[in-house]
Chain A
Amino acid sequence: MSIFHKIAKRATAVALGAGLMVGAAHAADKKDIVLGGSIPLTGVFAFAGVGIHAGIQDAVKITNDNGGIEGHKLVYVPEDTAYKVDASVAAFNKITSQHDVNLYYGDSTAFSKTIAPELDRSGKMLMAGASFASELDDPKKYPNIFIPGPSYTDMVGILLEYIAKEKPGAKVGFVHSDTEFGRDPVEGAKASAKALGLDMNLVISTAPGGVDVSTEVLKMRRARPDFVIFHGYVLAPIPEFITQARSMGLKTKFMGTFWSMDNSMVGKMGDVADGFMGVMPYNYYYTTADNAPMLDKIRSMRNTYQSNAYMQGFFSTMMMAEAARNTVKAGKELNGANLKAGLQAIKDFDTGGVIGVPVSVKGNSVPVGRVYQYDAAKKQMVAASDWINLD
C-alpha cells in the first residue's frame, strides 16, 4: 500500500469517526418531545383510563422504535388524576414544571375547558384527550385542543345518517344522562334529525346514578320509536332499558355512542346485547383487514383484547406525533400554534388500520366513524355500515 493510500485511508477513518461523532452529537442535540398526561388510572373513569394509558404507551414505543419523530425521542410522562379536575390540573402543573412539554393528553371535558386558557397563555403545546365534547370542536375558541375522533354531535350525526338510509322518516328516540357528557349532543341531534327527515319523537334525560328506568321505558312504550340512541352511559342503564322494552314487545333498535361501544362492555349486557348497535370511530382490536399493519403490531404487542379506550389513547398519540412530525419537517419551532398547524396539515393520513379509511383533520376533530352491531354468536361487534365521513 502506498503512502498516499495510507494517508487517504487514515483521513477517511478520521473523517468517518468525526462524522459519526458529529452525527451522534446532532442526535443528542435533538430534544425529546414530551407528551404529558393527566390520566384517570383510578376513580370512576379508571375503566377507560387504564386502556388509554396502555394505548399511549404502545403508540409511544412504536414511534420510538421507528426512529422517533424525525429523530426526536417521544417521552410519555403520565400522572394519575382519579378523574378529578383539581387533581388533573395539579398533574398538569407538576408535569409542565418539571418538563418542557409539547403535547398533552387530558382526561375530561371539564379539565380541557379549565386548562384551555393556560394552554393559550403559554402557547407551548397541543392537547388531545378523552373528551369528544362538541364544544371543543371550535378552533377559534380552543386553538390548542383537538378531538381524536368525531365530536359527540358528529357521532350522533353518523348514527342518524345511517338510520336515514336504513329507514327514511324513522321515529328516533334519544336517551341521555343528565350530565354535561350526556346533554352534549341533544340540540345537535335534534337539528340533524330534522335535516335528515327523521322524527325525533322522544328525548329522555335520566338522573345520574338512577337505578330504576321503568318510568322512562313507559314513555318509550307510548312513543314506540324505531331506533333509540343512548348517550352519556358506559353500561347501566342500557341493558335494563332494552330488557324492559323487549318485555313490552317493542321492536326498537338500540344504539350507543363511543363510550358504550367497547366490545367486552357490550358483551356484559348478556342476552340483550344481540343486535345492539352504535358508532365507533376506530377499528376494534380484533378487526382483520388488509393493509392494517398497526392493528397487527398492536396484537403482536398485546395478545389479549384491548378496549376501545386503548384505541382512543393509541390514535390520540398517533395524531399528536404526526402533528409534531409535520412541524419538525417544516423546520418550525415546536409550539402550540405550529403544532396545531401541523395537525391541521394532516390530510388523508394512513393510520395503518386503526381507522379503516385515510383520515383528515377538520376543524378540531376527525369526523369519521362506522356503525357496528353486536353479533352474540361471534361475541363481537361487527361492521354494519361502511365508514361514514361527515362533511
Chain B
Amino acid sequence: MDWLFFSEIGLAGVGSGGLYALTGLALVLIYKATRVVNMAIGEILMFGAYVFMGFSAGLALPMWAAIPLAILVTGLMGGVIERLIIRPMLGESAISIFMVTIGLGSVLVGLVEIIWGANPQRLVEFMPSDPIFIGEAYLSSKVGYAFAIAAVVLGLFLIVFRTWRGGVALRATAGDQAAAYSMGINVPGVFSSVWVITAMISAGAGILVGSIGGISPNMGVYGLSVLVVVIVGGLDSLLGALIAGVLVGIIETYAGAYLGGEYKMLATFCLLVLVLVVRPYGLFGTHEIERL
C-alpha cells in the first residue's frame, strides 16, 4: 500500500469537496428560504465564470476589480431572475417552479453562447501555480487555494446566518412564512436577498471551478454533482452541504484513483441511493421535506 498516494488522494478529495460544498451552500440557501430547488444553479455558476472572463480577459481589468464585479453582476442577475421570473410563480406548485428553473438554465446557456460563443475557454490565471506540499503529500495549488477560499466563505456564512438579523429573518422565513410575515419580516425582500446572495456564491464558485477546469457553456453539468451533494446532506441543511460536499469529493477521488475515472459518477450515485434508502431526507435534512 502506497500511503503517500493514499493521503494525496484524500487531500485532492477534500479539496474538490470544498468546491462542491460551496456550490451546495447556494442550493441549500435558496431551498431553505423559498422551497425552490434551483436546477439552474450550475448555469448561474457558469454565467458567473463567463462574466469574470468578460471583465478579466475581455476588458483586461485587474483581478481585484474583475472578481468582485463578476460576483456583483451575477448577484444582480440573480435578483432580476427572482423579481421577474420566480416571484410571479410563487404559490404555483413546486414542480412548476422546478421546471421553470430548468428552462432558466437553458436560457442562460443560450445567452452565454450568444455573448461569448460556444467555444471552450480558459480563465486568466490568478492563483499561484506552485504546488502545495503538506509533509510529502502533493496538493494541486488551485485545488488547495480554492478549498481555502470555499472554507472561509462557508465558515462566514455559517456564522452570519446564526448571528446576523438577516440570517435570523431567513431562518424565520424558512420555518414559517406566515409567522414571519406577522412578525414584520419582509418575506419578499428575503426571497430577493437570497437569490442575490446565492447567485453571488455561485459566481464565486464558478470562478474557482473555471480556473481549475476551464469554462464552456455546458459547464452547468457541474450542478448535477452538486445536486447529489445537497440531497445527500439534506436539502435544507447548511452543515449537511458542507459535510456531504467533502464526503462526495473524497468518495469520487478514491473511486477514480483505485477503480478508474469511469467509476467516479457510479460511486457518487451509489452513495446517493444508499443515503436515500437509509435517510430519505438526507444525512442532516429535516424530516418533513416535501420531495419532488
Residues of A within 8 A of B (CB): 42-44, 46-47, 50, 178, 204-219, 221-222, 234-237, 239-240, 243-244, 247-248, 264-265, 268-270
Smallest beta-carbon distance B40→chain A, Å? 16
- Starting from the known contacts A42-B118, A206-B256, 11 additional A-B residue pairs (CB-CB under 8 Å) come to A46-B118, A205-B261, A210-B256, A211-B212, A212-B143, A212-B253, A214-B138, A216-B261, A236-B214, A239-B214, A268-B120
What chain A residues lie within 8 Å of B218 (beta carbons)?
A: 44, 209
Asked if A247 contacts B214 (CB within 8 A), the reply is: no
Instruction: Say yes or no: A247 contacts B131, CB within 8 Å.
Output: yes
Cross-chain contact B260 with A205 (CB below 8 angstroms): yes
The answer, yes or no, to whether B16 is at the interface (CB within 8 Å) is yes
B62 within 8 A of A: no
Which residue in B122, B129, B139, B261 is a CB contact (below 8 Å) of A214? Answer: B139
Given A47-B119, A207-B256, also A236-B213 (CB < 8 A)? yes
The stretch of B5-13, B24-32, B96-104 in contact with A is: B5-13
Q: Is the interface of B mostly helix, strand, loop or mixed?
A: helix
Give residues of chain B (138-162) contacting chain A, Cβ–Cβ below 8 Å.
Answer: 138-143
B1 CB, min distance to chain A CBs, angstroms: 14
Q: What is the chain B residue whose CB lies nearest that of A203?
A: B260
How would residues 85 to 129 of chain B score, 1 for a CB under 8 Å from any chain A CB and 0 otherwise?
000000000000000000000000010010001111110010001
> B19, A268: Cβ atoms under 8 Å?
no
B15 proximal to A (CB < 8 A) = yes
Closest to A209 in B: B221
A235-B261 CB under 8 A given contacts A211-B222, A214-B143, A215-B9:
no
What are 13 A-B pairs at a CB distance below 8 A?
A44-B118, A47-B120, A206-B256, A207-B262, A210-B256, A210-B264, A212-B16, A214-B8, A215-B257, A240-B213, A247-B131, A264-B119, A269-B122
Contact: B261 with A178, CB < 8 Å? yes
Q: Tell me if B122 and A42 are in contact (CB < 8 A).
A: no
> Judging by beta carbons under 8 Å apart, are B120 and A235 in contact?
yes
Q: Which residues of A contact B131 (CB under 8 A)?
A: 244, 247-248
Interface size on B, residues (CB 8 A): 46
In the complex, chain B residues whose CB is within 8 Å of the CB of A211:
16, 19, 209, 212-213, 222
Q: Are A218 and B262 in contact (CB under 8 A)?
A: no
Q: Tell me the complex Cα distance, A360–B138, Å.
A: 50
Knowing A42-B113, A212-B15, A214-B140 are in contact, say whether A204-B120 is a contact too (CB < 8 A): no
Report the bound CA distance from A219 to B253 in whole Å: 12
CA distance A236 to B216 in the complex (A): 9
A42-B118, A50-B118, A234-B120 given; A218·B257 CB < 8 A: yes
Find out whether the CB atom of A219 lies under 8 angstroms from the CB atom of B122.
no
Q: Is B180 an interface residue (CB 8 A)?
A: no
Task: State in angstroms the CA–CA spacing of A135 and B120 once bound together.
Answer: 27
Task: Assess the B122–A235 pair: CB atoms within 8 A.
Answer: yes
User: Roughly how many angstroms separate A213 CA and B222 CA in the complex, as a whole number?
Assistant: 15
Q: Is B77 an interface residue (CB 8 A)?
A: no
State whether the Cβ of B48 lies closer than 8 Å to any Cβ in chain A.
no
| A210/B213 contact (C-beta < 8 A), A46-B113, A215-B12 known | yes
Residue of B nearest to A49 (CB): B118
Q: Could you say which residues of chain A place their CB within 8 Å of the CB of B119?
A: 47, 264-265
Q: Is B130 located at the chain interface by the 8 A CB criterion?
A: yes
Bound: A218/B252 CA distance, A = 15
Once the chains bind, are B214 and A212 in contact (CB under 8 Å)? Answer: no
Nearest first, the 5 A-B pairs at minimum CB distance are A46-B118, A236-B214, A211-B213, A205-B261, A214-B140
User: Is B76 among interface residues, defined by CB-CB distance under 8 A?
Assistant: no
List the B residue with the shortest CB-CB distance to A271: B125
A207 touches B265 (CB 8 A): yes
A237 to B143, CA, bound (A): 14
Contact of A206 among B110, B122, B261 (CB under 8 A): B261
Inside 8 A of A218's CB, which chain B residues have their CB? 5, 8-9, 12, 138, 257
Q: What CA separation (Å) do A221 and B139 show in the bound complex?
A: 13
Please give, as numbers and ranges, the residues of chain B lying within 8 Å of A234 by CB-CB distance.
120
CB contacts (< 8 Å) of B19 on chain A: these are 211
Contacts of B209 in A (CB 8 A): 211
